[in-house]
Structure 1
């Protein structure tokens, strides 16, 4: 029998820990959605990063399970509320909480999820709790800021590329940074290493979102798992569209404006037309270059940390590389 990877072993411990949590029973409409969304099959990337970062320095992993679970519960709380704001019918292929129950249930259940995340964070050792709370609160506020910027962009005609990068830094990347930083802080790594791991997480988080933007347009449909071109159909202001609006001139600019303004259209025709325009403007190469810039900076930070357990360092690097090279 093949031996489990270090990451798989950590995830098993985390999953067991999460399943043992009793978030509450009554009223069931308040608590059932918490169990429901936590069991929808997420990859648990954020708590895994926390556990891996902790394991770079210490072996007593049980001390990290509560704080790592807090990050996962907080992340799913944000998804529950984001789905309401986006009016999303599906999450990981299943009905979203507000669709399965209703919007009011999803709001209230999400609220109590945030409370339960703090309950889990309170399992942090007393000497580290003030710092853990400070970092957690800072990140929680930044995630909300990122979501608000994202909503603001929907009604703004022009969004600068730098503003988009800042939005994804806040909405997505800072939570990856916190996941790694918190593991390092609780394992009593040096402040320098904790900061480098945070910077690593933020940089790869930005890179991952740019990768998602690319895959939405250029992925192999048979591997992608969802409709290619969804962002194009929705006129979503991704890095690709922002750069295209910035660079398109003459007939290219007119064609892009035409597709962005059209209310009724053939979806496949629009996707193919905008994708061709992106190819003419070299948008794919530009986005790949920007994405790789963040990945390279992230690994520069990561490779300079003073870890104690090399096997976790090597596996954490491999996990990140696998995510970078994914095709879906």
Structure 2
């Protein structure tokens, strides 16, 4: 069993014992539900690995903050699902579908407070640094979501604007999870910042891979229907890159599909994917993913700590790059 798998088991055990049977059930059952329907547990595992990189014997001190990172992440998913009107999450009904929208909003609010309670369970000596990082990151995630929402009604999104959005919405939380762990493990400021940059660049590659899987992945393993981003005309790197690389006729055809109000789902997905293939989008996305991945490894080498743990982090990052869901 790898170290990441071992920490993943600790995270699952921690999440299972987090709430117990608290009242009112209408507030806490949705929290239990979203935390129990799976997920990769990337952020808490990275937090614990970030601590172990510098002080493996004290890794248990990072467990509660790691759980806080996971609860915060799932809080954002719960509210994102409301805003996106998503009906499925990890092959299960979303909270606002299984219960209702008001319940989802309130349970999400409770999760944010629970996240803060967990993050605060660390040494008073380092708590101000941890909270400063968490506060900044939480606001950045909200900024990223706001940009993502604004993209829905705009047709002038550049690749640079999209990459900035996913940095804020996704990548910074991976970086912060590692840096919180590093702070708990006693890393120097320089090493903790290098580890943050490793997580940030790995997070960029991770989100680009997610975009790619939505179009080119396998429906049986991805966890949600393939082509969902195409159906809702979501501004992803693939869509923006296609516009930039298609001929004028190809752009007109892509615009025609985007503007269609009534269509056959499978027909639209196939047609848009053919246009993506014509534009070389899959290869372009893979090339950018690899660029971020290679950059992340450069930062990891500068982060110091245990050689063995750095190898574990490399293996974990590689696993994320090669995933099918």
TM-score, with structure 1 as normaliser? 0.94
1:259 to 257, 260, 270: 257
> What is the rounded CA distance, in whole Å, between the counterparts of 2:68 and 2:177 in structure 1?
10
Q: Is the 8 A contact 1:240 1:284 kept in 2?
A: yes
Match of 1:104 in 2: 102
Partner residue, 1:153:
151
| Larger displacement relative to structure 2 (87-96 or 242-251) | 242-251
- Aligned partner of 1:144 in structure 2 is 142
Match for residue 318 of structure 1? 315
**Range with greater deviation from structure 2 (134-143 or 317-326):** 317-326
CA contact (8 A) 2:52 2:59 kept: yes
Q: CA RMSD in A?
A: 1.6
Deviation at 1:205, TM superposition (A): 0.7
Residue aligning to 1:173: 171
Counterparts of 2:21 and 2:110 in 1: how far apart (Å)?
10
The runs of 5 or more residues in structure 2 that have no matched partner are none
Distance 1:87 1:177 in 2: 28
Match of 2:24 in 1: 27
Q: Does the Cα contact within 8 Å between 2:213 and 2:324 map onto a contact in 1? A: yes
Q: Following the alignment from structure 2 to structure 1, what is the Cα–Cα distance between the partners of residues 236 and 299?
A: 26
- 1:13–1:217 distance in 2 versus 1, CA, 3 Å: closer
- TM-score, scaled to structure 2: 0.95
- Figure out how many residues of one structure are paired with residues of the other and give that number: 324
Partner of 2:126, secondary structure, is: helix
Match of 1:275 in 2: 273
2:143, 2:169 within 8 Å by CA — same for their partners in 1? yes
Distance 2:161 2:134 in 1: 24
Q: What is the CA-CA distance between 1:64 and the residue it aligns to?
A: 0.8
Instruction: Please say if residues 232 and 271 of structure 1, whose CA atoms lie closer than 8 Å, have aligned partners that are also in contact.
Output: yes
**Kept in 2: contact 1:90–1:96 (CA 8 A):** yes
Q: Structure 1 stretch 224-233 or stretch 44-53: which is displaced more?
A: 224-233
Structure 1 stretches of at least 4 aligned residues deviating more than 6 Å after TM superposition: none
The Cα of 1:223 is off from its aligned counterpart by: 4.7
- CA 273–18 in structure 1, closer or farther in 2 if over 3 Å, else same: closer
Gap regions ≥5 residues in structure 1? none
